[in-house]
Structure 1
Amino acid sequence: MLQFLIDWLTPIFENMGVSPTDVQQYVNSLGGYIYAILGTLAVAVIIIIAAHWLVKKGTRHVVRWGAGIAWVLIVTVLANIICFGPMYNNLAPILNGRGSVSEESVKTSEEIIKETGEEGMALVKNDGMLPLDKDSNLNVFGWASTNPIYGGTGSGSADNSGNVDILASLTDAGFHVNQNLVDMYKEYSPTRNLGGNVVSVTFTDWSLPEPTVDYYTDELMKDAKDFSDTAMIVISRSGGEGQDVPLDMKAVIDGTYDPRDEVANGNEQYNYFSCNYTNNGDYDDFDEGESYLELSNTEEAMIEKVTSEFEQVVVVINANNPMELGWVDEYENIGSVILAPGPGKTGMAALGEILNGSVNPSGRTVDTYVYDLTSTPTYNNYGSFLYNNVDDLRAELTEADEAYQGVLPFVNYVENIYVGYKFYETAAEEGLIQYEDHVQYPFGYGLSYTTFTQEMKNFTDNGDTVSVDVEVTNIGETAGKEVVELYLPPPYNNGGIEKASVNLIEFGKTELLEPGDSETISFEIPKEEMAAYDSKGIKTEHGGYVLEAGDYSLSIRSDAHTVLDEETFSVDTDMNYETQGRASDDTAAVNQFQDYSAGKVTYLSRADGFANYSAATAAPSDDMYVMDKETKAAVAEKTVAHYDSTKYDNEEDTMPVTEADNGVTAADLAGKEYEDSLWDDLLDQLSVEDMIDMVNLGGFQTVAVDSIGKVGTLDSDGTSGLNDWYIQVYGTAFSTELLIAQTWNKDLAYRIGEAEGQEYADCRIFGAYAPAMNIHRSAFTGRNFEYYSEDGVLSGYIASNTVNGMTTKGVYPYIKHFVLNDQETNRCSLLLTYSDEQVIRETYLKPFEICVKNYDGKSLAVMSSFNFIGPRSTGANPNLLNNVLRDEWGFRGMVLSDWNGSYGYQNTDDFVRNGNDAMLGFGTQKSNEITNTSATMVLAMRQACKNILYTTVNSGNYTIPDPNAGKMPNMTKLFIGIDAAVAVVSLGIMTLVLVRYFKKRKKVTIEVVPKTEELSKE
């Protein structure tokens, strides 16, 4: 019976983003109540049937109605017990938390999203074709012109209904669009099947239903050429949570591309996340081995057709991942190329404005665009690599939790610190590659309709810092904005600490400069930010940052490759920060991961001109697929099958005070410092049960706690604006983080944060699972649309400003996913990620570090990631969550897990003991059971509760008055109404039944008595 209920509920809840496994867990957790309902129903049915033989005819209907109504009342009571008991924290947010975004907030958001498009779209090719004349005719080709990508799918999706589309953008800008082409595309395939056009948590659409070349008839093309000699081609690519971009599209189309091996998460995600591909016809759209980031055969044929018949062609790349774009240089008629990734609701309006010149493009690339993605140093070590000797461990995990279906994979970050442009710039300098043969558009590249000069002035070595002014002058004839990119080329000693030859260290953006105008942007860079991390102990004993002696340069560049001006300074002696620490750190950074994160991987090294390039970047050797005994033991120890919490108890720990009556409420701690002694008085009032609820029930909320007067709070996705699919509350669709990063504008990022934060605040949802700031390690990551860049510094400063903007509205952002969650493939399946600590710190931790150290408020949160660092889960890694995040960086706040599923390793007990304060779930998993309430565990939960409380009491939940405070919650009102209705109806029915019964009985009595008297007289 339970399985029948599970099968019935699964498709309903899947549409809400709830996985089948979680539906199963919920139903199983309520099994006792369900069987009680069914049991009482069976009893009621038996009574109703038995009444036919056991009860007198006149009273049968009373018994039957009584049994039925009794069952209804029992079900009502049980429903109340369920809904205000085990299911309360699932239902309360849905029934109590339905706010809405104000019209004023929506208007503000739409304006800033449009501005994001204006500053973020990047012009990467222009032979003078653009801008086009206003009020001109334009032929728009490509099916995506009628179905563009506005964002992505998954937790970063958004409600894209009513978005400004490409055709509206063009017509609003004064262009006249060939309607015959529009009609042909719409008739061929009217809509994209999800793919970013609607909110979808569990679906990714890779469809490319491009019409075949025979649709471009002679008549259609003649009409088009008569209409205009100018054409625009639109190419789109989607992305989403749960799957990485397919490396072999022909296999996807043929149905031979196994998602378990390449693009899924393992576990229940095989079915939880789904995807689609259709080309609207029976033909080969891709050749064998061609990836989603190459042109399809149908697209190639369309482009060949258009470029052969039109003199001027502009290409718009509406893609969330860097595509291979070498083909745009193969056609002389392609004069311009614009990068326009997911623009959100109104961002696409900028396209028409850029085409007609009313907006001067100022966006820059945030990734390196290469001609051949298979030649990148990450390609052979990205995707699915499964250990082949772990069947025993998998069997144990499945036995412990039947929902577990993980695959136990690994991934090696063999490229070391040479991620993106840092590889290509350094490899070119070392002579490993010819730069122009590999790189089409460098990192930080973008064109303008005007010309700027940049000049470094007032360069000063201040001892601990260096400062410089950059004067930007518009020497062209059109107003525009300019990006200033400041790079560090450090000294490198062959075989020493690894260093890239070029490293972005700061950046800025001017205001709109009229022709002839100048603006000065000033920078002051701490020298400690120029230090490299010595993970291998070359110049440190235990690892640490070292600013090596030598000549350093600071250069301003138009992109990572092109120097505009440069200044140099010298460091006379090594500055070793291992012992004294950097000024920005609370404690000195030393190795926290290297012993277990590096594994047995050969990492790419600059030594001797990248002499080990071939060996380091090769696919994993056969021995890599064999998990050694030590690793297997370390992994197994923390899994559901083997975890023994008593091993981690400290006998010297003393049980803290619980259930005290100190008269302190959570509100009393708002604004107090983390070290304030009043926290102890508050925490002493918590019961162990209170603590268990707080750490286990973190799914889109933090729970109410009566003992301290803590209110229940709401959290929500997402990275493209408010996306609370759980309670079905949605905000405006903001631009993807990718497009936001392409603005290179910190001030704009801050205002984006303010606008997003206001929409959350309107709905009194003050926790935001955003922004996401993992790194574009590979172009094939499905979730690159909601991450900023391949560079940690650019990601960090854009994210930091967004976070600080959101905080002004009382919102506490959960910066995520902490850390190394840089692919979707197998992310939940005990993915062992191996990396050198130097690149972990210098690239992957960098955005989080910048956010924490530059945070302006008190209420900040972190979401940990699914993956492992070596054999240790990030969510239960004290080196990461305590030593680095809290001790080194000074973070004060809560850490939340990523979705708490049946993954075999997310033990609440283990997570809480090691710095992860709450679980993103509803306490329904077997791994949520806390059976050990030793002093050590209670102390850990007490600390976790303090972190949760510190975050929530310093948020808008307490600092912004709630207009509904003191009022009866919606859920309570609803159930009172339902209970009252059931009681009244039941009482009414039973009253009618009894009245009818007594009327019949009285009538029978009256009729019988006279006959009796007559007989007695006789």
Structure 2
Amino acid sequence: MKKRCTSKFTLLLLGIGIFGFPVQTFAARKGGEEPSYGINIGQILFWIAAIVVVLAIALVIFSIYRMVKLKRTRKIWWSIFALLLVVVVALNLAVNSFGQIANAYMSRYQIDETKVNKAREKGKKLTEQMEEEGIVMLENKKEALPLEKGHVNVFGYGSSAPVYGGSGSGGGKELDNVTLEQGLKHAGLKANPELVKFYKDRYVPREKVNMHKLVGGDFNSHEPKASDYSQSLMNHAKKYSDTALVVFARNSGEGADITTDMKNYTGGSKGKHYLELTNNEEAMLNMVKQNFQKVVVVLNSSYPMELGFLKDDKVSAALWIGNPGSTGFDAVGKVLAGEANPSGRLVDTYTYDATSAPSYYNIGEFPYKNSTFKDGDNTWHYKYIDYAEGIYVGYRYYETRYVNNQTGKMDEQAYRKAVQYPFGYGLSYTKFKQEISEYKTGKKTIEMRVKITNEGTKAGKDVVQAYYTPPYTTGGIEKSHVVLADFTKTKNLKPGESEQVKLKINVEDMSSYDDTGAKAYVLEKGNYGIKLMNNAHDVIEQKNFQVPETVVYDKNNKRKSDQKVAQNEFDDARGDVKYVSRANWDKTLPKEMAKPKMASEKMLRELKSFAVKSDKKAKPIKFKDHGLSLYDMKGLSYEDPLWEKLLEQLSVKDMKKLISFGGFQTIAVNSIKKPATIESDGPAGINQLVSGAQGNQYASEVVMASTWNKQLAEQVGKSLAVEAKASNITGLYLPGVNIHRSPFGGRNFEYYSEDPLLSGIIGKQIAVGAQKKGSYTFMKHFAMYDEETKRYEFPTGAATWSTEQSMREVYLKPFEIAVKQGHITGIMSSYNRLGTKWIGVSKKLLQNVLRDEWGFRGSVITDYYKPQYMNIDEALAAGNDLVLYILPTKLKKETLETNWGQQNMRKASHNILYTVVNSHAYDVAEKHVPMWIILYMLGDLILLGFIGYMMYRLTDSKKMQRKKEAKLKQ
């Protein structure tokens, strides 16, 4: 009787498992209200795991009871049974814990490939347009370009191993990309097949970058030696064509900066950096110049190489093409053949010596000597980075360095020795005339109409650039001699055709930030030169704007664009650094590489601090079910009182999961009917780490900025969002608007420019385009994150020291533009520290400046979580809302169990939910139980059934033995 009861009990438990799952699944869907909010995968998996655990506990208890009475043979079988039971329980618990990750991964198998391919094809067409408008013609001596259609020789290892994009999260995926050879062929230019074979036979796969251990680029050079080119090969090439294209390619990416010494790399040599030609490249170029009448250099690099060799008369022409993405080489072919007119302009200053940038001596790994600490088997140091150059980044340095402070005149000879191609430079196949046709000024704005006329013989587009020159007093507020104020791009103008465009400058935007005197923005009295320019150096026409009295934008007179007056927030991040000043270049410019130094005791305490400072006076939050859903908030303002009622429906557990499960997703929340969402990297195309979903590879961000085309940038943003939606992705980690502080910045391909206005406008347009198509974006990396050296060996985050002026005028400016003009709803905080504090716990940055001053409404997500120094509990208090981590992050009791902590969680939840609801999250939400869950459930039940059968056989073994003995007796 007892054994029969036991067997029935076992079957009853199995029945609970079999029939309980569908019931709980149905309950999880809450009746399927419209619009559907999707399936809460976590809840489904919780019930699966709960049922299995109940079964397991019952079975284990009974197993122990049985094992006491069993013989050795039976004990072995019971041991196997117990082991199998442990495996099942562990599997269910693991799937329950990591089910959100599993669902994100499995989402790739639930997408409509037809929609994905259709969106990707549109992206490819747009990529070709990006490249066409982004190509910069640097040289065209004696109108060597365009080329006549027909045969052409193509030299350079980069011709067979081109760089389509960078490495890492912003690199995109190469999916059937158009090659250079194909791009030439499509434009009617046939590459010498013998040379093509010559390079392909010597092809060495570029080192692949592991997403979990990013190491930058592959700096090895595989350019063949000049002696490898046989005489017969060269003789055939000369007969094939008198024209030679020479391709030089450079790559890098996330995780490391560009090497400044090639001695340890294949094909490199001591004393040369990666942005110079290698010895083999120089020898090959010299060989080509001696053998061919027309030599055209093609620069396949998003990094500003040293290009002094282009001044040689034997180099006929040169094109900068950046990283062309999936279809960009079709555009390269069209430009070379004259089917398209190059209209790109440089977004960086190209100098004869890349090491002449004042940032050169302060990019790298610089430790505090007295900060050694152990982390397991590893020994580390806290590290620092000094932004000693202040505001003098890129053209702000080179266009100011050679100006006489008293007369305002430029030493052209000295300038031309340093700068080869100015910021904003670019040539065309036609000739344009620009002139100011109307100039109007007011107290708040300056408006300038510019007439552009195509005076040449070919159709093309032109870029219109406006700069201002502020008054400067020696020893006063630091100022660049010229600052980009506005820009636009014309339509395609036919020969003889004209267009009128309007440029606008807000007067308050010409103010400088005085961080040592007024500690506010200051518009100093005097004459401001308003300049229409070909580039940052060459003036076309100038007007003047007089400021009669100095204006201080303080508490009594804030800037119109600010919500709250801007004032010093970052005095503690200034440090003990000697900053560059135009009042005395010689004494303030760095002259040697930064060295390890000592940290003060106070600094060390702050660097090591991991304290959570709660407010014991904080009031408790309310919890109440008002019957609202998140969808009810769609379109409402952030301040709408209905938000408070919705937030009261969230339990502490809801908020904890929402905040801590932020790795490439946000979770579903049943209490407010919030759907789960999937997020992806994507500055150059959908690149979803967890699911593996891949989209079209767009041209690099440097190419995008080089178009100087605001409307095109918005189209690219829309295209990215359409691709994302087709892949069931809602959030995008883009755009990257950090500054090209140094030519050697490894991740520069993923950022737009050395100029903050150009970066901010183009980045803003990308984000606006994506938002218009329903994606939310996380603009990155906020802030002062402009190098990659040893960043993954920075378990402590590098302490960044800077003037507040350079922060506000250069490094924060792109984010400010995007927030104020683009109303973006997402930002990603960076790995580094501002002074001694990790960016994520800087309330001054994330609350005082970002939200209170600029008016940001939305959520801030961390970069990929580093528990060694990312203090998430303090981050929630500071305004960092979401944690980018594929595992759940732990929150301390100071957050979970105190009024202060729960207030922070509620604020973060508000920010996250505001971002999500104002997107197409409901359009891509899963409306049925995903197939992988159904398969997992069936597998689970089969396994449980097998275990139940085993137990049945084991529990009834004596009965079976008696039956067997009875049969034998018969």
TM-score (norm 1): 0.84
Distance 1:775 1:417 in 2: 12
Structure 2 unmatched runs, 5+: 1-48, 405-409
In structure 2, the residue corresponding to 1:920 is in which secondary structure? coil
Return the offset for 1:458. Answer: 1.3
Match of 1:781 in 2: 745
User: Judging changes above 3 Å, is the alpha-carbon distance between structure 1 residues 54 and 992 closer, same or farther for their aligned structure 2 residues?
Assistant: closer
Partner Cα distance (1:487, 1:458) in 2: 16
Which residue identity is paired with 2:71? V
Following superposition, the deviation at residue 176 of structure 1 comes to: 1.5
What is aligned with 1:187? 201
Residue 589 in structure 1 maps to residue 566 in structure 2: yes
Deviation string 1:568-619 (CA, Å, 9 cap, x unpaired) is 12111112111221111101111111x1121111111122xxx243433233
1:95 correspondence with 2:106: yes
**1:271-295, Cα deviation, whole Å (9 max, x unpaired):** xxxxxxxx4xxxxx33322111111
1:370 aligns with 2:346: no
1:504-519 maps to which residues of 2 (within 5 A)? Answer: 504-519=484-499
Structure 1 residues 653, 991: CA separation in 2 closer, same or farther (over 3 Å shift)? Answer: closer
Report the AA paired with residue 586 of structure 1.
Q
Q: 1:165 aligns with which of 171, 179, 186?
A: 179
**Which residue pairs with 1:615 in the alignment?**
588
Deviation readout 1:192-215 (Å, 9 max, x if unpaired): 33379x999666322321111221
Alignment pair present for 1:152 and 2:161: no
| Equivalences for residues 973-1012 of structure 1 within 5 A | 973-986=934-947, 1002=963, 1004-1009=965-970
Residues 1:320 and 2:331 are matched in the alignment = no
Structural mapping, 1:103-502, within 5 Å: 103-189=117-203, 191-194=205-208, 204-250=217-263, 252-253=264-265, 279=266, 285-329=267-311, 331-391=312-372, 394-395=373-374, 398=375, 402=376, 406-430=380-404, 434-502=414-482
From 633, 649, 654, the counterpart of 2:605 = 633
1:96-117 Cα shifts (integer Å, max 9, x gaps): 4643552221121111000001
State whether residues 599 and 870 of structure 1, in contact with CA within 8 Å, keep that contact through their aligned partners in structure 2.
Answer: yes
* 2:193 counterpart letter in structure 1: Q
- Flag the 1:798–1:405 CA change in 2: closer, same or farther, 3 A: farther
Q: How big is the shift at 1:68? A: 3.4
- Residue 816 of structure 2 corresponds to 849
Name the % identity: 37
Which SS does the other structure have where 2:554 is aligned?
A: helix
Deviation at 1:905, TM superposition (A): 1.6
Query: Does 2:896 match 1:910?
Result: no
Corresponding residue SS for 1:471: strand
Q: 1:372 to 1:152 in 2, by over 3 A?
A: same
Distance 1:204 1:605 in 2: 34
Distance 1:928 1:105 in 2: 44
Report the aligned-residue RMSD. 2.8
CA distance in 2, matches of 1:574, 1:335: 51
Q: Indicate conservation of the 8 Å contact 1:130/1:356, yes or no.
A: no
- Contact 2:660–2:890 (CA<8 Å) still a contact in 1? no
Deviation at 1:66, TM superposition (A): 5.7
Aligned to 1:9: none
Aligned-residue offset at 1:705: 2.0
| 1:554 corresponds to 2:530 | yes
Going from structure 1 to structure 2, the CA distance change for 1:989 and 1:204 (only over 3 Å counts) comes to farther
2:639 equivalent in structure 1: 675
Does residue 55 (structure 1) correspond to residue 41 (structure 2)? The answer is no
Contact 1:73 1:982 in 2 (8 A): no
Q: What amino acid maps onto 2:287 in structure 1? A: K
Q: Secondary structure at 1:533's aligned position in 2?
A: strand
* Matched letter for residue 215 of structure 1: D
> Which amino acid counterpart does residue 572 of structure 2 have in structure 1?
Y
Distance of 1:477 and 1:199 partners within structure 2 = 53
Tell me the number of residue pairs that the alignment of Structure 1 and Structure 2 aligns.
901
Does the 8 Å CA contact 1:489/1:552 hold for their aligned counterparts?
A: yes
- Matches of 1:661 and 1:863 in 2, distance apart? 32
Gap change, CA 1:75 and 1:930, over 3 Å in 2? farther
Counterpart contact for 1:550–1:572, Cα < 8 Å: yes
Q: CA deviation at 1:63?
A: 6.6
2:774 to 810, 825, 828: 810
The alignment partner of 2:420 has SS state of: strand
Which deviations, in whole Å up to 9, do the C-alpha atoms of 1:745-769 show, x marking residues without a partner? 0000000001011111112211100
* 1:821-844 Cα shifts (integer Å, max 9, x gaps): 000114344211111111101111
SS of corresponding position for 2:142: coil
Report the residue type matching 1:563 in the other structure: V
Matched residue, 1:79: 91
Matching of residues 842-991 of structure 1 within 5 Å: 842-855=809-822, 860-902=825-867, 904-923=868-887, 933-958=897-922, 960=923, 962=925, 964-965=926-927, 967-986=928-947
Aligned pair in 2 of structure 1 residues 462, 373: CA closer, same or farther (>3 Å)? Answer: same
CA distance in 2 between counterparts of 1:801 and 1:913 reads: 31
Secondary structure (helix, strand or coil) at the match of 1:848 reads helix
C-alpha distance in 2 between matches for 1:867 and 1:970: 41
Q: If the length of structure 2 is used for normalisation, what is the TM-score?
A: 0.89
**Distance change >3 Å, CA 775–CA 585, structure 1 → 2:** same
Contact kept in structure 2, 1:489 and 1:503, CA below 8 Å: yes
Change (3 A) 1:836 1:1007: closer
- The answer to whether the 8 Å contact 1:96/1:971 transfers is no
User: Contact 1:122 / 1:339 at 8 angstroms: preserved in 2?
Assistant: yes
Q: Distance in 2 between matches of 1:188 and 1:612?
A: 48
Distance 1:410 1:994 in 2: 68
Report deviation, 1:90.
2.8
> How much has 1:162 moved relative to structure 2?
0.5
Distance 1:1006 1:813, change over 3 A: closer
- Residue 44 of structure 2 aligns with which residue? none
1:522–1:189: structure 2 CA closer, same or farther, 3 Å change rule?
same
Distance 1:52 1:679 in 2: 60
Deviation at 1:936, TM superposition (A): 1.3
Pairing 1:570–2:546 present: yes
Task: Give the drift of 1:706.
Answer: 2.3
State whether residues 158 and 199 of structure 1, in contact with CA within 8 Å, keep that contact through their aligned partners in structure 2: no
Deviation at 1:158, TM superposition (A): 1.3
Separation (CA, whole Å) in 1 of partners of 2:687 and 2:888: 23
Code of the residue aligned with 1:1008 in structure 2: it is K
For the structure 1 residues 599 and 996, does the alpha-carbon distance in structure 2 shift closer, same or farther, using more than 3 Å as the test? closer
Query: Could you tell me how far 1:628 is from its partner in structure 2?
Result: 1.4
SS at match of 2:197: helix
Q: Deviations over 1:292-328 (max 9, x none)?
A: 1111111111112111111111001101211111122
